[in-house]
Structures are given as C-alpha cells and as structure tokens.
Amino acid sequence: MLDHTTDLTSMLSRPDLLCQRAFVGGQWVEAGDGKTFEVRNPARGDVIARIPDLSRAEIAAAIDAAHDSQKAWAARTGKERAKILHRWYELMMEHQEDLAVLMTAEQGKPLSESRGEVAYGAAYVEWFAEEAKRVYGETIPGHMPDKRITVIKQPIGVAAGITPWNFPNAMIARKVAPALAAGCSFVSRPATLTPLSALAMAKLAEEAGVPAGVFSVVTTTSSSEAGKEFCENPKVRKLTFTGSTEVGRILLKQAADQVMKCSMELGGNAPFIVFDDADLDAAVQGAIVSKFRNNGQTCVCANRIYVQAGVYDAFAGKLAAAVGRMKVGDGLEDGTDLGPLIEPKAADKVREHIEDAVAKGAKVLTGGHGHPLGGQFFEPTIVTGATPEMLVAKEETFGPFAPLFRFEDEADVIAQANDTIFGLACYFYARDLSRVIRVQEALEYGMVGVNTGIISTEVAPFGGVKQSGLGREGSRHGIEDYLEMKYICTQV
Ligand SMILES: NC(=O)C1=CN([C@@H]2O[C@H](COP(=O)(O)OP(=O)(O)OC[C@H]3O[C@@H](n4cnc5c(N)ncnc54)[C@H](OP(=O)(O)O)[C@@H]3O)[C@@H](O)[C@H]2O)C=CC1
Ligand SMILES: O=C(O)[C@H](O)CS(=O)(=O)O
C-alpha cells in the first residue's frame, strides 16, 4: 500500500517521471503564486503528489509559447517530425512500467490495465509518426485551359486539448500525436484528478526532442478557466475534448464565438445485445470486458445489456458466475480485476442507479452494495428485470453495474437500443449472417462491435454520432482534424 510520495517514487525505476511541476514552453514551472493542488491515490486516499495550480494568465503563456514555436515545427519535414514522434513512442514503451505505476496510483485501475493503456497510448504516437509522412494534397484537372488547380494541406496551428481522468495517458496521446504529426503545436490540460500521466508523457516528449513550446501541459483545478482561455484566445485555432456531453456542450458554445474547429469525444450509453443464436460463452466474455474494463468508467462500455428471451436465464447465470470470480482491490496489488472508483461521487452514482432500478422492479443477481474494503470500492453488480423506465436506461452509469433487459424480437431491441441521445459504441452477439448485416446497419452508433466486446484500437476511426461527439480520432482519418485544406487556382 502506498503511504506518501516517497513510497510512489520508490516504485519507479525513473523517479524523475513523477513530475510535480507544470511543463510550459519547455520549462518545468511552479505556479507564480505558489499554489498547488493534491493528487490522491483513490484506493487509499493518501496524497501522492502536489501539482502547480496555474492561473489563466499562466495558461495563456503556454499558448504564447505554442504559437511562437509552431511555425518552425511545421517547417520541418514530415520525416523529421516522424523521427521525433517515433522516439517518443520508443521512450513511452521503454518506461511502460513506470508510466503504468503512476497511472494506477493516480487513477486506480489495475496495473495490468494501466500497462495496456500505456501501450494503447503509445500506439497512437507510433501510428501518427507514420502518418506524419503521408499528408498528401492533390491536383485537379483545370476547369479552363489556362487554369491549374492544386489542393494542399497545412497544419491548422495551435491546438488545445482537455482530457478526462479515466484514460489519463491514451486520451492525451490520441490528440497530441496527430496534432504534432500534422505540424501543429499543442497545449494539454489534464483532469485535476490525474495529471501525473500527462506530466510524465511531457517529460519523455522533451527527451524525444519535441522542441520547447510545441507541447505544454498546464495543470490547474480551474477547468472552466482553462476552457475559456482555450476558446477565447485568438492564438488557439483548434479545440479537442474528451469527456461528458454536458461539458462538451459548454465548450462548443464557448468555441462558437471564434468559429473554432472542434473535436468532441463525449458520453455514451452503449447497448450490448445477445441474440438467441449467440455463442453464449463468447458473449459472457465480451460483456465482462466491455462492462468492467476500467471498472466500467469507460465511454464505450456496455451500459445496457439486452438478452433475447430464449437465452436470458442461461446468459444471466453464466455472467453472474464470471462476475463472481472478479477480485476487487488495490490496483497495485497482483490479481486485482476491479480497482476503486475514481471518487466518492462516482460510487454515489452507481448506488443511485442500482437503487432506482430495484425500486422500479429489478432484482439483484449479484453485488448491489459498496465493497467491504470501503471507500470508493464497489461490488460488481448485475440486476435482472431492467426496464426502459429506469435511470440506467437513459444515463451513463460509469461504474460496475450491469442491468439485464429481456427482449423478444429484433425490431424491438433495435428500437430500444437506438432510443438514446447518445451514439458512441454498441455491441451485439449473433451468428446468423443476415441478422448480423441487418443489425449492424440498423444500430445508430459510430462504432459497432460484432461478436466482440472490445473495439478500441489506433488503426480505426474512434468517435460517435448524435450527442456522443464530433470527429474521429485514430486511423488515417485522425490527422485530418489538425489540417486545413487549401485550394490553389493558378492562371497559366
Ligand atoms: N466520453 C468519455 O470518454 C468520457 C465521458 N465521461 C462522462 O462524464 C461524466 C463525468 O465525468 P467527468 O470526468 O466529471 O467528466 P467531465 O466532462 O466533467 O470532465 C472531463 C474533463 O473536462 C474538464 N471540465 C469540466 N468542466 C469543464 C468546463 N466547464 N470547461 C472546461 N473543462 C471542463 C474536467 O476537468 P476537472 O475534472 O479537472 O474539473 C476534465 O478534465 C462521467 O460520469 C461520464 O458519464 C467522463 C469521462 C470520459
Ligand atoms: O474515454 C474513453 O472511455 C475511452 O475513449 C475509451 S477507449 O478509447 O479506451 O476505449
């Protein structure tokens, strides 16, 4: 168990990766007024770091440094930027264990998941190191004999990003990597609860040769002030956000005044559908990984589990048995499957959804309460008899709560699955080919898992429709959000 900062640094092969200063314009800085905020280990509540609480003016200074360094960074060849990004990827993987320990200490997820997230984040850096060399334009046959048409793509300029606590490495990597690959500079503002991963990434970016000012990490408890500076500062040309739809709406409204380009990866409410021709064992494994990855604190996790009547009881029994084998504990301890929730209000939300469901007729199959470990630990919970009238049918739980809805036919479950303002990820298990094609086309989501519960990869376009967001991250499409297209018409 961790007691204090010294305990955490004693676990690191590179203690200097626990950075307790902000990274602005290539300098490691304190807040001008000396203000700091505490970072606590959610498993035990102890303080593991004290981080500068920067002011809006200090955030503006990071934007100035990004602006002053961007043109020279863009003037480098794609190959030069690729080389530096690839070195950053190599350093992230060389220090995977230290980055994972820092992540589990500040966010709580099991060390095995933290290692996976570091590799996932690094994969985005590796992917966009390659894409940096492939920003192609085009020539178009002229519309008149004396005209020549070309189209080129240029970096948009200074980009700013606000990211959540649930994936404190990958959400930053998935934004900074394409931005830098395109020739943009980037100011990152990580969540108050989890700044350590971002700061360690900045340390390794500096070592990889990212020039001063091109990538800054501004730490502050005043997220709204950071958001306003990002949206109102004329030097910022691009805003990218991952978090709740509620905050996404606020930022979009603020960004509208400058007609700023925005990318939004927002909330979800993923349906997970099991048809009667599914491989039930595969469906159970898919439900476990989709529902309980990061303790359910994932925007793409299964939030509603729909099971066709003919296999409902068999699936429920298998799922309960699998959940019963999951170990709740400190993420730094071997064998832990489910760490603590990020903060007390997160446990309150899970409890609220469970109590609401039971009050409206659901039956607890397993779990249902805070875990005996106390604090933010919670029992993984399954209820049967879930109905559309329950809170969990409309809201993202963001915790280890699996409500089982029973359905009769395909049309009925498609209607229920689509009855939400969200459209990020969805999943279904079936083996009839015609049904698979019908259902994958009928579900109104940006991403579909067919006979799989995990879809996150750097090679595919990640993003949602409806109120789950704007734009895509990852894949060959992800760099486009950091580029402007310029049409050139030349008289010959
Ligand atoms: N789609 C996704 O990937 C995610 C979805 N969510 C959803 O959001 C819910 C709440 O989680 P939470 O982490 O609080 O998500 P939030 O959307 O509240 O926070 C996400 C990030 O935005 C920052 N933020 C909050 N308010 C503002 C603001 N007015 N202006 C600028 N930035 C702001 C937060 O800073 P700080 O926390 O430091 O104040 C954090 O860095 C979850 O229950 C889940 O439903 C959450 C995380 C990821
Ligand atoms: O915000 C999230 O929950 C992540 O985008 C989920 S994933 O990309 O790691 O699947």
pLDDT digit string, tens, across residues 140-158: 999 999 999 999 999 999 9
Strand, coil or helix: 476: coil
The tens digit of pLDDT for each residue in 75-105 reads 999 999 999 999 999 999 999 999 999 999 9
298 is a domain residue? yes
Q: Give the range of the structural domain holding residue 74, as residue numbers without chain letter.
A: 8-266+468-488
Residue 165: closest CA among 24, 22, 326, 299? 299
Distances in whole angstroms, Cα of residue 95 to Cα of each of 15, 102, 200: 11, 11, 10
Please tell me the residue having the least CA distance from ligand 1 atom 32: 223
Residue 409, pLDDT > 70, answer yes
Phi/psi class of residue 20: alpha, beta or left (left: φ > 0; alpha: ψ in -120 to 50)?
Answer: alpha
> CATH no. for residue 25?
3.40.605.10
Ligand 1 center to 146 CA (angstroms) = 54
* Per-residue pLDDT at 299 exceeds 80: yes
Answer whether residue 456 is part of any domain.
no
Mean pLDDT, the chain, rounded, equals 97
Q: 326 with 348, same domain? A: yes
Give pTM, 2 decimals: 0.97
Q: What is the complex's ipTM, to 2 decimals?
A: 0.95
* CA of 300 relative to ligand 2 center, distance in Å: 6
Both 156 and 229 in a single domain?
A: yes
> Does 408 share its domain with 473?
no
Mean pLDDT of 464-470: 98
Residue 348 sits in a domain whose CATH number is 3.40.309.10
Ligand 1 pocket mutation pick from 223, 352, 456 by most atoms within 8 angstroms of CB = 223
Q: How far apart are CA 134 and CA 123, in angstroms?
A: 17
User: For residues 114 and 102, what is the distance between their CA atoms, to the nearest angstrom?
Assistant: 9
Domain match, 297 and 185 both: no
Q: Please indicate, yes or no, if residue 459 is contained in any of the structural domains.
A: no
| Average pLDDT estimate for 130-134 | 98
298 CA distance to ligand 2 middle (Å): 6
Within a domain: residue 3? no
Q: Is the pLDDT of residue 6 over 70?
A: no
Regarding whether 324 and 199 lie in a shared domain, the answer is no
Q: What is the pLDDT of residues 355-389, one digit of tens each?
A: 999 999 999 999 999 999 999 999 999 999 999 99
Please state the separation of Cα 343 from the chain's center in Å: 18
Same domain, 286 and 352: yes
pLDDT value at residue 1? 46
Residue 462 predicted with pLDDT over 90:
yes
C-alpha of residue 56 to centroid of ligand 1, in Å: 19
Q: Are residues 48 and 195 in the same domain?
A: yes
Exposed/middle/buried for residue 257 (C-beta within 10 Å: 0-12, 13-18, 19+): exposed
What mean pLDDT is predicted for residues 402-429? 98
Q: Once rounded to an integer, what is the mean pLDDT over residues 170-192?
A: 98
- With tokens 């910022």, the residue in question is 236
- Best probe residue, ligand 2, of 240, 301, 457, 462 (max atoms within 8 Å of C-beta): 462
When pLDDT is averaged across residues 54-58 and rounded to a whole number, the result is 98
Q: Are residues 253 and 286 in the same domain?
A: no
d(CA 59, CA 220): 9
Nearest residue (CA) to ligand 1, atom 45: 396
pLDDT above 60: residue 297: yes
Task: Give the single-character DSSP code of 26.
Answer: T
Q: How many domains does the chain have?
A: 2
Residues 274 and 261 in one domain: no
pLDDT score of 2: 47
Same domain, 372 and 232: no
Evaluate whether residue 149 is within a structural domain: yes
Active site residue 480: no
Q: Would residue 461 count as lying in a domain? A: no
C-alpha angle 320-322-326 in degrees, rounded to nearest 5: 110
Q: Which of these is catalytic: 106, 117, 126, 265?
A: 265
CA of 299 to the centre of ligand 2 (A): 6
Ligand 1 contacts (CB < 6 A) are 162-166, 191-192, 223-224, 226-227, 242-244, 247, 250-251, 265-267, 299, 396, 398
Q: What is the pLDDT of residue 7?
A: 87
Is 463 inside a domain boundary? no
Average pLDDT over residues 332-352: 97
In a domain, 207, yes or no: yes
* Burial of 133 (C-beta count, 10 Å sphere; 0-12/13-18/19+): middle
Kindly state whether residues 245 and 281 are assigned to the same domain.
no
| 253 and 348 part of one domain | no
